[in-house]
Structure 1
Amino acid sequence: MTATPTEIRVSKDRKSLTVTFDDGARYALPAEMLRVLSPSAEVKGHGPGQAVTVPGKRNVEIMTVAAAGNYAIRIGFDDMHDSGIYTWSYLRELGEDGARLFADYEAELAEKGMTRDRAERPR
């Protein structure tokens, strides 16, 4: 049985989401991690090998959090991405294993010559 959140709270600076589960586990999930590891098809792709590496999201903020049935939330970010459905089990996975998943993401960025910082627009 999957633990269910008893509280989901966006930080005042909109840079993190704290999820408290009914078994007492509590995780502060950075907005950047939630954005770049979004479960959306835009990020994960529609099949094996189609995942996309999303650079430049270091300063992304959470704009909205909405219920998606009784099993998930949809998070809207200030870069207009809002198509990911974050199930309770995926939020738990990010809480428990997010540091490793984010380190893998950073390694992938480096391998592809990308950065966490947003590219400056030419003037």
Structure 2
Amino acid sequence: MPTPTEIRLKRAERLLEVAFDDGSRFRLPAEYLRVESPSAEVQGHGPGQKVLVSGRREVGILRLEPVGHYAIRIAFDDLHDSGIYSWDYLHRLGTEQAERWAAYEQALAEKGLSRDPPRRRGG
């Protein structure tokens, strides 16, 4: 299992840079991490229960919290903070980023949903 050698939060760019001991390095956007959260709220409690999360184009990361020596918890500025990202899952998100992102965008299109947050009414 690859282990991170460096984890760097780039708040202004809304992304997480992760380097692993196998030589791989990934730039994972906050939006991608949020919609692929390993939490039960997103993944469900079993196969086929994954929730399609929309409207998170502008989501940011508030903080990272270590979880033992095997994972981090990511707290997002939309108040989602229940996902625990194991080193293996972060590595998988990096290696599968193009495929997962394409599938996400296709699912949004099929359901008529958007990456953009809903517009507020009033003013």
Q: Name the TM tier (shorter chain).
A: over 0.9
Q: Deviations over 1:37-78 (max 9, x none)?
A: 101000000112221100000010011101111111000000
- Look up the match of 1:68: 67
**Structure 1: runs of 5 or more not aligned:** none
Q: Deviations over 1:62-96 (max 9, x none)?
A: 11101111111000000000000101111111111
Pairs aligned (count): 122
TM-score of the two chains, using structure 2 as the length reference: 0.95
In the alignment, structure 1 residue 26 sits paired with structure 2 residue 57:
no
Does structure 1 retain, via aligned residues, the 8 Å contact 2:11–2:60?
no
Q: Distance in 1 between matches of 2:10 and 2:92?
A: 20
Does structure 2 retain, via aligned residues, the 8 Å contact 1:63–1:77?
yes
Does structure 1 retain, via aligned residues, the 8 Å contact 2:31–2:58?
yes
TM-score of the two chains, using structure 1 as the length reference: 0.95
SS in structure 2 of the partner of residue 64 of structure 1: strand
- Look up the match of 1:121: 120
Q: Distance in 1 between matches of 2:11 and 2:113?
A: 29
SS in structure 2 of the partner of residue 53 of structure 1: coil
Q: Which structure 2 residues correspond to residues 21-60 of structure 1 after superposition, within 5 A?
A: 21-60=20-59
Does structure 2 retain, via aligned residues, the 8 Å contact 1:14–1:62?
no
**Percent identity of paired positions between Structure 1 and Structure 2:** 57
Q: Distance in 2 between matches of 1:12 and 1:38?
A: 18
SS in structure 2 of the partner of residue 24 of structure 1: coil
Q: Distance in 2 between matches of 1:69 and 1:103?
A: 32
**Structure 2: runs of 5 or more not aligned:** none
